[in-house]
Structure 1
């Protein structure tokens, strides 16, 4: 007689396949540095879209970016790290520090290979590498920083977080544009299922130097409006395109057993489901993959669409992409079938940092029973059939949230987070 295999990964500790739990949140966002500062600003509807002031951006569409304000890395990080890090890594290190402090855990005190860093990044250290390339051509190779060998690399956030906190478990970086912020969480779950006990995961981005903004502009998706109230209007009749920004969120994920054994001070929720898909080639006649990603994530969580209390939308700000996402949501939930939150209207699109920040928002929404609002969406197209939460938070009993993300080139990802009481032993 044979028995069905358990969901526990072969060779992994008992309980390793149970949904991992979120025990810490760290945020660096255009409308707030630090989780509670950002969350309060988000609930107030305060945006962080600003004109570029560091250089002349008049030749770029709109000239607006989502910039973390007044960020002084020297106030948060040791001086030895400053010469070897780009702004993106400094933001990531600060977010990781907060996520671990919030979880009240020191990874260096865990089993030697039990803690990992798994992040997503689409660009690496743009500002650092472009400065050093300029030195190469204007001052000669002797003036180029030795740290250029790694500070530019999109894996550098994972590496620096691992080094700073003594995290020697399997590390990874996922590159999938916007969707990568959710894919990193999926990869962190795999690491925990294979025997890890803790992972810092999510995404943080910053590519807003002149070359970076030019690269974003080359996509043809940037809004030409220089007014923060009209520049980024997903699902609105006046949608003109997107605004790019920097920042994101890093989250502490643990196995439920480890969180319980160390008596973690809080559990925000669990990563109940995850899935990723890829869009078919243009002209194939096959549908986009976002709806399928959402259905697969719900199936992975053992849930049905009717179990979802709120959706955090990808919200491209481009009419065709918004229509495709709205169609996927209608197919899943019916017209107006679930509240839809778009807090990224306050920050711009942060590449891999945006979906990770949405997961942080989802966890805090579950904690507080408040759905954060979209701002500036005064002419929502009713044809989309969406119940958008606008202008002010909406108080609701929340247990389950679905977070969606799409990346340039056809990436789709979905994560289901579910509220969870902290387990207690008898």
Structure 2
């Protein structure tokens, strides 16, 4: 299939069915809350630091991106605290911020018109570790009954649904780093079927010894101790990535619903595609091409690419080659703000979508930190050092790329509110 031809020849289509983003909620290693995080991103402030959640001195990898200043009791009731893992508490905080930001009240919608679709990769790892410790040290009678659901991937969707009365079609996606984009695509399908509002995106948190063992077994973590030189996407000196926690949740609404209530719109989710590397051959480029075709957008209309940015030499070369094949060498500004947070599993790509929407709003491309210049075999116009203002060409369209461990690829096209 010549997908490049399909993109180039994509006909003009009506975008009235595109869902719009009206709310953003963020919990990230370099800022809790959208405003704090976005300010840090534009300043190039990193949230990567030595692991503080547990003693990592005996492990080869000792750096992580931990959400700062999150006091669980300020976001979750005392009744819910013993029932929930940290990732669920972060998700509840992000969902509330997103709904408040959107000015949306699901109670004012018809029954079953609002839902929630989240992505998650680990479930409640920290909660599960505590219960395993209780099992082996004290016996089964000391294991919490809440273990039956607190560990589960879908618990974030469930708890958000309960808190906000989101009783429409809902679900959870498990495709690691690609999950945040895949969840948004699923939410888009529900909106096209008649839903009016869906809370969607992804968060992850597995910064505990059990989670760290899984990260190390999965491979790819850098073993460097200097936070400024640890995670270097597309750099000749790249040595792997840093793991982190957090992510973003968005409020997606039908354009009709947003107009009806006079909502402020950040932008619209114009296209999505997913592929899988079943035989080990990268199909990230195909996902990007198909997403553009789905959006009815030509490559020369894309103003910025938010890269997956593995921080591993081989994976970086593969992604750079896919981007260069689609846009030409150095053909489009590319950025990886996750260089300031680490890779957040299911939360990484949804945080990139939030960054893309705010970049289109503020007409500025956030920087990639750490990396001073891309390697010679990564022919990219990588934005490094400082944020880059739009200049003479307005930012109207962004492409967000994500790869999940095991072969998942996903791509989303977002366009500004006026595009």
In 2, the alpha carbon distance for the partners of 1:62 and 1:226 equals: 8
**3-state SS of paired residue (1:233):** coil
Would you say the 8 A contact 2:51–2:64 is kept in 1? yes
Q: How far off is 1:56 after superposition?
A: 2.0
Give 5+ residue unaligned stretches, structure 2.
1-13
In 2, the alpha carbon distance for the partners of 1:389 and 1:69 equals: 26
2:254 aligned residue = 255
Q: How far off is 1:23 after superposition?
A: 0.2
Would you say the 8 A contact 2:49–2:63 is kept in 1? yes
Give 5+ residue unaligned stretches, structure 1.
1-14
Aligned positions of 1:13-412 closer than 5 A: 18-264=17-263, 266-282=264-280, 287-396=281-390, 397-412=394-409
Q: How far off is 1:280 after superposition?
A: 3.4
Moved over 3 A (4+): none
Q: How far off is 1:146 after superposition?
A: 1.4
Would you say the 8 A contact 1:16–1:194 is kept in 2? no
In 1, the alpha carbon distance for the partners of 2:60 and 2:158 equals: 34
TM-score for both structures, normalised by structure 1: 0.93
Would you say the 8 A contact 1:267–1:421 is kept in 2? no
**2:410 is aligned with 1:416:** no
In 2, the alpha carbon distance for the partners of 1:240 and 1:96 equals: 34
Change (3 A) 1:139 1:16: farther
Q: Deviations over 1:256-308 (max 9, x none)?
A: 000011111x10000000000011313xxxx4110110010000000110010
In 2, the alpha carbon distance for the partners of 1:343 and 1:61 equals: 25
In 1, the alpha carbon distance for the partners of 2:269 and 2:211 equals: 33
Would you say the 8 A contact 1:16–1:192 is kept in 2? no
Q: Deviations over 1:165-221 (max 9, x none)?
A: 000001110000001110000000011111100000000000010010110011221
In 2, the alpha carbon distance for the partners of 1:16 and 1:159 equals: 31
* Mean CA deviation greater in 48-57 or 405-414: 48-57
**3-state SS of paired residue (1:80):** coil
Would you say the 8 A contact 1:17–1:193 is kept in 2? no
In 1, the alpha carbon distance for the partners of 2:54 and 2:293 equals: 48
In 1, the alpha carbon distance for the partners of 2:195 and 2:347 equals: 24
In 2, the alpha carbon distance for the partners of 1:134 and 1:113 equals: 40
In 1, the alpha carbon distance for the partners of 2:53 and 2:182 equals: 32
Would you say the 8 A contact 2:95–2:249 is kept in 1? yes
Q: How far off is 1:17 after superposition?
A: 6.7
**3-state SS of paired residue (1:402):** strand
In 1, the alpha carbon distance for the partners of 2:92 and 2:121 equals: 17
1:6 aligned residue = none
Q: How far off is 1:55 after superposition?
A: 2.3
In 2, the alpha carbon distance for the partners of 1:61 and 1:107 equals: 47
Q: How far off is 1:380 after superposition?
A: 2.3
Q: How far off is 1:16 after superposition?
A: 10
In 2, the alpha carbon distance for the partners of 1:110 and 1:178 equals: 32
In 1, the alpha carbon distance for the partners of 2:209 and 2:92 equals: 24
Aligned length: 403
Q: How far off is 1:62 after superposition?
A: 2.7
Would you say the 8 A contact 1:124–1:152 is kept in 2? yes
Q: Deviations over 1:107-141 (max 9, x none)?
A: 12211100000000011000001101111111222
Q: How far off is 1:384 after superposition?
A: 1.1
Change (3 A) 1:162 1:149: same
In 1, the alpha carbon distance for the partners of 2:418 and 2:373 equals: 39
**3-state SS of paired residue (1:99):** helix
Would you say the 8 A contact 1:117–1:158 is kept in 2? yes
1:5 aligned residue = none
In 2, the alpha carbon distance for the partners of 1:146 and 1:108 equals: 31
Q: How far off is 1:60 after superposition?
A: 2.0
**3-state SS of paired residue (1:112):** coil
Q: Deviations over 1:88-109 (max 9, x none)?
A: 0000000000000000011122
**3-state SS of paired residue (1:384):** coil
Would you say the 8 A contact 1:16–1:193 is kept in 2? no
